Structure 1
Amino acid sequence: MWLRLLIILGSLSLFPVPAAARDLVLLLHSESNPSAWTQDVATGLTAELNDSADVRQIFLQARSMDEDAFDDVFERLSQELAGVTPLAVVANGETAFAFARKYGDDLFPGAAVIFCSMGRPDTRVLTQSGNCTGIPMEFDLKGSVDLIFSMCPGINLVVAIADASHSATPLMEDVRLAMQQYTDRAQIMFPGFEPGDDNGLDVKTLAETLSSVPSSGAVLFLGFAEDREGNPVSDEELSGLFRSHGTSPIFVVRDAWPDSGVLGGWMISGRTIGRDAARLVTRIGQGEAVQEMLPEPTRPELRFDGTALTRFGLKAPPGAEITNQPVRHVVDESALPVSGLAWVFGLAALVALLYGIRRYRA
């Protein structure tokens, strides 16, 4: 009997035990297509989870935030997500968060919703959203303004660029307050939001604004996710505008346009946001109640583009991270002695030739 039991146990050990199914996290992007920002958020999220959960990315591909556009996306995702039961949904951006709030109970019932890549929502919105928490972006706009005048002390104009979204209004107000101590040195302008020019910007006027900033000015780019008609503007389109029309240092508050010519500054990184979201997912997976998780902001880091620093002759403050260092052309000095010797031998040959001709004539 014991022998039979040992044989049975031994045979069972030959068959591998199936691994427990890992939790699923949906990363819902507001954008229609991948970008440097969405890639950074996904990279940070995946790396911090460290294979403890699977991550599936979904791009909304919504034309706008109106009801009809959302309904079309809902119909598409109803088929794609049939039978899918995620642990959490990371809503990357305002559009994704609005969509998750409206359709979450139908598409992913019971899943926690984590908002990111956006400002802090109204308390009432969070209360009505139920199983929801998040990581709001918290910009250091006073630090950004101080940084501009620290690095560019000779400027007399700051051009602050924003879109017409409701989230841009408090940002512009914070910039106005931060500029009060510099009004004796420089003027602040908000193109599209000035008396007589208060209709906002579209892509064309944004390009014209960037190219018209004088060398004595600097740009503080607060964000431009949509034009004045409410049409979405992609990060790729903005990168192209920065490359083709940026004539002055462009300070940004979000690290979303690498290698586009923007200078940098106090920026929030997509990878940092992804890592912060992953930590919330881990806590949710460990059984912590989502309603008890207070939104904790993602804070900016001081980072600059090395090529842009060189282009404008600027120096980064101590401790700042420098990316995209300019390529330095190194001269191969080992070739110099060879060319030098060639000149010496050539000169010696010429002297010898002249000496020989002189003796021959003599």
Structure 2
Amino acid sequence: MPLPGTLLLALLLILAVHPAAQASAEKRVLLLHSYHAGMKWVERIHQTARHELQALQPEALVYTEYMDTKRVPFSPAYEQLLLNFLKAKYKETPIDLVLISDNNAFDFMRRHGDTLFPGAPVVFCGINFFTDALLDGHPNYTGVIEIFDARSTLEAALAIHPETRHVYVINDYLPSGRIVTEDTRQQLKGAFPGVAVEYAAALTMTGLERRLKALPAHSLLLLGAFFRDADEVFYSSEEVVQRITAATDAPLYGQLDTHFGLGIIGGMLIDGRSQGALAGRIAVEILNGRDAADIPIIRSGANSFMFDRVPMDRYGIDPALLPLGSIQINQNTAILTPREQEWLREHASIRLAPNPDAPPIEFFHETGTYRGLAADFIALLEKKLGVQFQIQRPANWTEAVAMARERSIDLWAAASPTPRHGEFMLFTQPLIETPTVIIARSEARDRVGMQDLTGKRLTVVADSPAHEQILNNHPGDGLLATPDIGSALRKVSLGEADYLVADLATASYRIEREGITNLKVVGESPYRHRWSLAVRKDWPVLRDILAKGLRMITEAERRAIMDKWVRFATTDQPWWQLTRQQQIALGGAMALTLFRKQWDGLLPTPTTNGVEASEWELN
């Protein structure tokens, strides 16, 4: 009896989704790599190619084989073994497409592909020294070629190191290494007058190290393809870079991303990820029905300028010298030398004593937590350096100074360098710079200078930079030192002192928070507060470690800290006419400008004539 139309349709739908019915529609893809699993170059190609296949052709079955020809010589005997193995393994498994990486797999497939996988199109990537003649007789081959761009890399390196007079080019003497060397000769011939170019001979690793140690001054290294030395000993990319950088202080540039992140500064690198991704997309087009012969070979665009901030920091390289659009890694990481790492292991406890009453720079919240601009920088440094500081709370700044002098603490987070403090502390570059101002009661006259304070009752925060500067430059004046900024402000407000000399940021913040209404800024002193990290003088290694950490703090991170404590909108007005609210924002704006100048080497932000002030709101 004929089946009803609806039942027949349902059966057809069931068959359509049944695995047995789907089997004929499944596509089988073989990824054939010239080298071994775990090699960074191979893994980058493999991961990105497979990602493209799975994302755009999720039903495809993917097989993977590694020829291992970096560690095993690609001899005729070994090639025959590979052929026999693949023939036996895939005898009953038809392959719809082969995606190959690097020249040995490319040559292998050109010789044996029709036997192993008849009719299967081939997509290649990572192919060196490609010519169209290599595809004669292989119309179903297409892919991405690999170009060593020694000239672009060296142009960038010489712009960064203009003092260079000698370039040492390193490749091995495997077939691929010899070809890279010859190609480099052609690219560099006559390109850089005044710079001698030397090509490494066929050396053992020990011989290479001896030559590196004997290089002349102002040398630079260009690393291409080096995997096996003259003794036929295989070396991983990690070992190659480590042995080279240990043997010489000459800056090392490269051409392969397999060396990237291991110690080379950078260069115009052949990017395995780009190679794999482009090859994967081509493979998907073919699986979707496009003829391989209609897909043009990708001959450019898979190389990128890439640089590593860790070796850049070692050589003091300004990121502004990098080619436009360069990719940078490790911008947010401080990498320490073995000596610095050992020092931190030996000094697991580093004690920090903040100024307990210097808001918004640093202070202790009523809950007992350490807070403020400096506290946020300390928290960032802990993350970037992998350390944890032990916070100890002094009664006041005078006690914090005494603790540092007695070596019962090791670090200040925000202190301004002075001759007295310099006797027992070392200072980093400033975090923040703020002006020092003169504060009086509201009825006092405007525009007072330090020369007008002779014979007046002055107050300062004890052991502050203003205290030391007044003692040194205005001896004999009646000077009352108070333990903290709040006490100093109250003495002026209550008429116990005529003037306070203090930094603008902490004074304005405290005035606003305590609601003191009878004080105003009447003048500016020539002194400035340069808030810096300070470490005990017998620990210079810690100062160097902290300086590295500070250089790794990004502009976005610094701006976020400023925005956390002060929000402001600019308005042009002379500073002495500002309200208390505007004065603290001025201090914040000046600090933010200094951030940019101190750490990143950025140009100062252009300003209009006069001082930019701000309406602000404390968070």
The TM tier, using the shorter chain, reads: 0.7 to 0.9
Residues 132 and 290 of structure 1 are in contact (CA less than 8 Å); yes or no, is this contact kept in structure 2?
Answer: yes
- TM-score, length-scaled by structure 2: 0.49
Alpha-carbon distance between aligned partners in 1 of 2:294 and 2:2, rounded to the nearest angstrom: 54
1:95 is matched with: 104
- 1:355 match: none
CA-atom RMSD, angstroms?
A: 3.4
Is 1:327 the counterpart of 2:334? The answer is yes
Deviations 1:277-309 (A, max 9, x none): 112212322333323433222431111111111
How many angstroms apart in 2 are the aligned matches of 1:93 and 1:231? 21
Q: Which amino acid aligns with 1:322?
A: Q
**TM-aligned CA distance change 1:172 to 1:77, over 3 Å:** same
CA distance in 2, matches of 1:206, 1:72: 34
2:171 corresponds in structure 1 to 162
Deviation at 1:239, TM superposition (A): 4.2
**Could you say if the C-alpha distance between residues 134 and 307 of structure 1 is closer, same or farther in structure 2, counting changes exceeding 3 Å?**
same
SS of the residue 2:99 aligns to: strand
Partner of 2:208: 206
Matches of 2:257 and 2:395 in 1, distance apart? Answer: 49
In structure 1, runs of 5+ residues without a counterpart are 193-199, 349-362
Structure in which a larger fraction of residues adopt strand = 2
Are residues 234 and 297 of structure 1, via their aligned partners in 2, closer, same or farther at CA, if it must alter by over 3 Å?
farther
**SS in structure 1 of the partner of residue 393 of structure 2:** helix
Could you tell me how far apart the structure 2 residues matched to 1:80 and 1:230 are? Answer: 31
Are the aligned partners of 1:36 and 1:258 in contact in 2 as well (CA < 8 Å)?
no
Residue of structure 1 in register with 2:462 after alignment: none
Equivalent residue, structure 1, for 2:132? 123
1:273 aligns with 2:283: no
* Contact residue 221 and residue 252 of structure 2 kept, 8 A: yes
Residues 242-297 of structure 1 deviation map (CA, whole Å, 9 limit, x = unaligned):
45445322111110123311111111211100011112212322333323433222
Q: Deviations over 1:32-80 (max 9, x none)?
A: 3321111110122122221503432211134222210111222222333
10-19 or 25-34: which moved more?
A: 10-19
Contact 2:310 / 2:335 at 8 angstroms: preserved in 1?
no
Distance, in Å, in 1 between the alignment partners of 2:335 and 2:68 is 41
Conserved? CA contact 2:150–2:184, under 8 Å: no
SS of the aligned residue for 1:262 comes to: coil
User: Taking structure 1 as reference, are residues 26 and 324 closer, same or farther at Cα in structure 2, changes over 3 Å only?
Assistant: farther
Partner of residue 309 from structure 1, selected from 284, 292, 312: 312
Q: Distance in 1 between matches of 2:240 and 2:2?
A: 74
Return closer, same or farther for 1:27/1:8 CA change in 2, 3 Å cut-off: closer
8 Å contact from structure 1 (residues 163, 223) kept in 2: yes
The answer to whether the 8 A contact 2:158-2:164 is kept is yes
Moved over 6 A (4+): 1-5, 7-16, 333-337, 345-348
Please state how far the C-alpha of 1:228 moved relative to its aligned partner: 4.4
Number of residues paired by the alignment?
Answer: 338
- Between the aligned residues of both structures, percent identity stands at 22
**Cα 1:211/1:286, change in 2 over 3 Å:** farther
Q: Give the alignment partner of residue 55 of structure 1, picking from 48, 54, 62.
A: 62
What residue is the counterpart of 1:18 in the other structure?
18
What's the secondary structure of 2:396's corresponding residue? helix
C-alpha spacing 1:90/1:4, structure 2 compared with 1 (3 Å): closer
Return the offset for 1:3: 11
Q: Give TM-score scaled by structure 1 length.
A: 0.80
Contact 2:103 2:126 in 1 (8 A): yes
Asked if the contact 2:242/2:263 (under 8 Å) is kept, the reply is no
- Conservation of the 8 A alpha-carbon contact between 1:64 and 1:232: no
Are the counterparts in 1 of residues 32 and 105 from structure 2 also a CA contact under 8 Å? yes
Task: Give the drift of 1:327.
Answer: 2.5
The equivalent of 1:174 in structure 2 is 186
CA contact (8 A) 1:242 1:261 kept: no
Q: 1:124 to 1:14 in 2, by over 3 A?
A: closer
Which is worse superposed, 149-158 or 111-120?
Answer: 111-120
Deviation at 1:328, TM superposition (A): 7.3
For residues 108-133 of structure 1, what are the alpha-carbon distances to aligned partners after superposition, in whole Å with 9 as ceiling and x for unaligned?
22212222212243333210445322
8 Å contact from structure 1 (residues 33, 59) kept in 2 = yes
What are the Cα deviations for residues 186-212 of structure 1, in whole angstroms up to 9, with x where unaligned? 3211121xxxxxxx2333333434454
Q: Mind listing any 5+ residue stretches in structure 2 that lack a counterpart? A: 337-376, 382-388, 404-619
What residue is the counterpart of 1:354 in the other structure? none
Equivalent AA in structure 1 for residue 199 of structure 2: F
1:46 aligned partner: 50
> What letter corresponds to residue 41 of structure 1 in structure 2?
I
Residue matched to 2:434: none
Distance in 1 separating the partners of 2:214 and 2:168: 10
- CA apart distance, 1:104: 1.4
Please report how far the alpha carbon of residue 310 of structure 1 lies from its aligned counterpart in structure 2 after TM superposition.
0.8
